[in-house]
Amino acid sequence: MLTNIEEQIKIITKGSDRLVGVDELKIKLERSIREKKPLIIKLGLDPSAPDIHLGHAVVLRKIKQMQDLGHKAVIVIGDFTGKIGDPTGKSKGRVALTDEQVKENAKTYTDQIIKILHPDQTEVRFNSEWLGELKLDDVIKLAATTTVARMLERDDFQNRYKSNVPIGVHEFFYPLMQAYDSVALKADIELGGTDQTFNILMGRNLQKTMGLEQQTALFMPILEGLDGKEKMSKSLGNYIGINEPHQVMFKKIMEIPDELIIKYYELATDEHPDKIKEIKNKLENGENPRDIKYELAKVITSLYHTPLDVEEAMNYYDTAFGRKSIPDNIPELIIDLDQDKLADIIPLLIRDKYIPSGSEFRRLITQGGVQINKESIVLEDLDMVLVCGDILKIGKKKFLKIIK
Amino acid sequence: MLTNIEEQIKIITKGSDRLVGVDELKIKLERSIREKKPLIIKLGLDPSAPDIHLGHAVVLRKIKQMQDLGHKAVIVIGDFTGKIGDPTGKSKGRVALTDEQVKENAKTYTDQIIKILHPDQTEVRFNSEWLGELKLDDVIKLAATTTVARMLERDDFQNRYKSNVPIGVHEFFYPLMQAYDSVALKADIELGGTDQTFNILMGRNLQKTMGLEQQTALFMPILEGLDGKEKMSKSLGNYIGINEPHQVMFKKIMEIPDELIIKYYELATDEHPDKIKEIKNKLENGENPRDIKYELAKVITSLYHTPLDVEEAMNYYDTAFGRKSIPDNIPELIIDLDQDKLADIIPLLIRDKYIPSGSEFRRLITQGGVQINKESIVLEDLDMVLVCGDILKIGKKKFLKIIK
């Protein structure tokens, strides 16, 4: 276990949005080091979510980093509400999940989680274990710990109340149940997205009301998807699934906008904050973002695939898309329909200063320095007929597009 | 069992404020007659109320009248909330009642109830029997049957919400629990004061949501106390307790304002609606309200005391306060200080047409038809000196007050 508290907090807060209860966290860490007892990190998960993507993984990665510091993760599968079904409305068709279905969903889920977390420092619990035992009198005591006004402060409730969209009284219970999970587990830290602020802070309050030590609340920001704008989500198609083939994962990471490189480093890798700072400096000092993103793609793909797979993904990417692929706005070269072999256009290339001479061009070809549509050519290819749209690459940086 | 449905409804609705579900009630009564099966009349009671007074008794008398029609009463003692205590606030001192205390309170209560209801048609149930068994998933299904907005429609919640007085989330459960009592008992009719409108109608809704026949809701008006203005209550001292001694009860009833005579007949006696109509007619045709109230006092006292006790109460009242006491606004007779014997004022009485002649006056005295301060006089009293404020009663209706 890492005994430097400041260093632990540096790692814990890396990339985070907000930490509530930092003083308490220091006390907890101090005791944890003194008594050699790991902190309990809680994460609540809805068993309905199917495939985990890098957006979901933000909190999981953070937990993994805390496991590296010696702490213990408790994943709470919210099977209780799944089993009772959503009783809202009249749709009798919406049948509650059976025990088997819930367990099956949870298995699919934990199989993915284990790709990120350390299995021996991870406990998976189902909240029906304690929620299923609560009786009406416990529920009333639980409900008495908060007020209607406080509940209606929650953004979504407030909006619905103001615009007359019905809120079922039972909906007030979901935050309370999540809060009770923290009580049942005596959680030291709870993680969640910023959209979980209300519920996680309610856990803090409930622990206090019940005479327990309050959990520290760690909120992680939302990770934008490939489009760089919207929250990563399967339905928008802007996601990178952690179970995607290595080649797909690598290529997708190469597609994120440059502005997100550092955020992805912070939220989707386990790199040390100091390392990320260095990378940020490189970027600011004009290093090619594409090269840094290539590194990022390697780092992230390595988290979910074997070194051999990563190697394969890099090769595939280099071959299929060119490690340094084709820039936008390539100048066009208009050629005659009856002078359309590669050899025919050498004078035009000299004219437009792409090459100094025909012999130099031939030398470059023999060295593999000329590509047509990303494939290096040989001297025999001088006889090939160019078609409209062919991309010619000469040397390291000169591109041109054939138009005829 | 009375087989005339219209007649049953006439008796059921006598004095009531509002009946919700009259068509359903007809169907229930029809089936009840056909199948010779009594309806289940539910009344919920808070075990904290100590001495029952005529105000509480309004609903109990109504139930007794329905028992006379053949139906069955189920009294629900709300011991569940009593046992869990009110969890609001921090007052750790407010200890929940023990099972023994709840049972003891309930016994005191039922002992009084049995003075009104037919024991063999009355069942007393404790709602912890079914509420104590509810688990969180049942509670959530229960809560899902209503909305936050609907709860906040309730007057007291609305006022508190608007004026920022905290409402505990658990408080939303009290109406739901009362409603669930109706589900558990499959109640056909629930009675309550108009202040129970929200809770009793919630019982109707919950039964419907749970696929049961809806209970009819019968609301009884509030009974004003001796002051004729405020709701009868122990704390205001304007109450008539059903356990009060017969003399006290009789006298208190004689103290109610004349305007309340009919309301008391409707709400505090079991008299048939037709009989009450007759009494109303008598009042409207100028019969002395005091005589009618005397009848009312006899009727009500008879409900809670033996015929011998009632007789005793009447004799005591007649002796102590005069059966027919002194009206307000008695005309005054001003007499001379030196002509202040009764015999002296005979000319004045003739002058003011109280008596036709002195001999007639003497005849009346010998017949006991003349009273001074409610005591009949004899001829020898003609020599007595009158003092200022003496009330003279001549014959049945003529009063005058001596001023000198």
Is pLDDT above 80 for A334? Answer: yes
Contact state of A131 with B132 under an 8 Å Cβ cutoff:
no
Is pLDDT above 90 for A320? Answer: no
Q: Taking residues A292-311, report their average pLDDT.
A: 96
Model confidence at B96, pLDDT cuts 50, 70, 90, reads low
- Residue in chain B closest to A168 (alpha carbons) equals B147
Order of strands across the sheet that contains B72-77: B18-20, B216-220, B189-193, B40-45, B72-77, B122-126
Is pLDDT above 50 for A90? Answer: no
* Beta strand residue intervals within B67-139, DSSP E: 72-77, 122-126
Tell me the percentage of chain B whose pLDDT exceeds 90.
Answer: 64
pLDDT of residue A396: 80
Domain boundary assignment for chain B? 5-220, 246-321, 332-403
Q: Which of 3.20.20.80, 3.30.565.10, 3.30.420.40, 1.10.240.10 is the CATH number of B246-321? A: 1.10.240.10
Distance from the Cα of A189 to chain B's closest Cα (Å) equals 26
Q: Which of B129, B134, B137, B161 to mutate to test the interface with A (most CBs of A within 10 A)?
A: B137
Model confidence at B191, pLDDT cuts 50, 70, 90, reads very high
Is pLDDT above 70 for B95? Answer: no
Check whether B26 is labelled as a binding-site residue. no
Q: Taking residues A295-314, report their average pLDDT.
A: 96
Decide if domain B5-220 falls under CATH 3.40.50.2000. Answer: no
Q: Taking residues B315-332, report their average pLDDT.
A: 75
Task: Please count the residue pairs, one from chain A and one from chain B, whose beta carbons lie less than 8 angstroms apart.
Answer: 122
Q: Which of A210-219, A290-299, B40-49, B204-213 has the lowest mean pLDDT?
A: B40-49
Q: Which of A140, A149, A170 sits opposite B167 (nearest CB)?
A: A149
Contact state of A172 with B170 under an 8 Å Cβ cutoff:
no
Model confidence at B17, pLDDT cuts 50, 70, 90, reads very high
φ and ψ at A307, to 5 degrees? -55, -40
User: Between A181 and A109, where is the model more confident?
Assistant: A181
pLDDT of residue B216: 97
Angle among Cα B213, B218, B224 to the nearest 5 degrees reads 165
For chain A, the average pLDDT equals 89
Is pLDDT above 70 for B163? Answer: yes
Is pLDDT above 80 for A329? Answer: no
For chain B, the average pLDDT equals 89
Q: Which residues of B touch A (CB under 8 A)?
A: 80, 83-84, 87-88, 131-144, 146-149, 151-152, 157, 161, 164, 166-173, 176-177
Is pLDDT above 90 for A2? Answer: no
Q: With contacts defined as CB-CB under 8 Å, which chain A residues touch B151? A: 148, 169
pLDDT of residue B48: 66
Q: Which of A109-113, B140-144, B150-154 has the lowest mean pLDDT?
A: A109-113
Contact state of B141 with A87 under an 8 Å Cβ cutoff:
yes
Q: Taking residues B188-195, report their average pLDDT.
A: 93
Is pLDDT above 60 for A290? Answer: yes
Model confidence at B327, pLDDT cuts 50, 70, 90, reads low
Is pLDDT above 70 for A333? Answer: yes
Q: Taking residues A172-179, report their average pLDDT.
A: 92
The CATH topology of domain B332-403 is: 3.10.290
Model confidence at B1, pLDDT cuts 50, 70, 90, reads low
pLDDT of residue B397: 79
Distance from the Cα of B151 to chain A's closest Cα (Å) equals 8
User: Between A141 and B81, where is the model more confident?
Assistant: A141
- Residue in chain B closest to A210 (alpha carbons) equals B90
pLDDT of residue B94: 45
Contact state of A170 with B140 under an 8 Å Cβ cutoff:
yes
Distance from the Cα of B91 to chain A's closest Cα (Å) equals 13
Q: Would you say the CATH fold of A332-403 matches that of A5-220?
A: no
Q: Which of B84, B134, B143 sits opposite A169 (nearest CB)?
A: B143
Is pLDDT above 80 for B131? Answer: yes
pLDDT of residue A93: 41
Is pLDDT above 90 for B271? Answer: yes
Distance from the Cα of B150 to chain A's closest Cα (Å) equals 9
- Convert the pLDDT of each residue in B249-262 to its tens digit: 999 999 999 999 99
Distance from the Cα of B34 to chain A's closest Cα (Å) equals 35
Contact state of B161 with A146 under an 8 Å Cβ cutoff:
no
pLDDT of residue B262: 97
pLDDT of residue A79: 85
Q: Which residues pair with A20 in a beta bridge?
A: A217
Dihedral angle of Cα A46, A51, A54, A56, to the nearest 10 degrees: 0
Q: Taking residues A291-311, report their average pLDDT.
A: 96
User: Between A4 and B189, where is the model more confident?
Assistant: B189
Model confidence at A324, pLDDT cuts 50, 70, 90, reads low
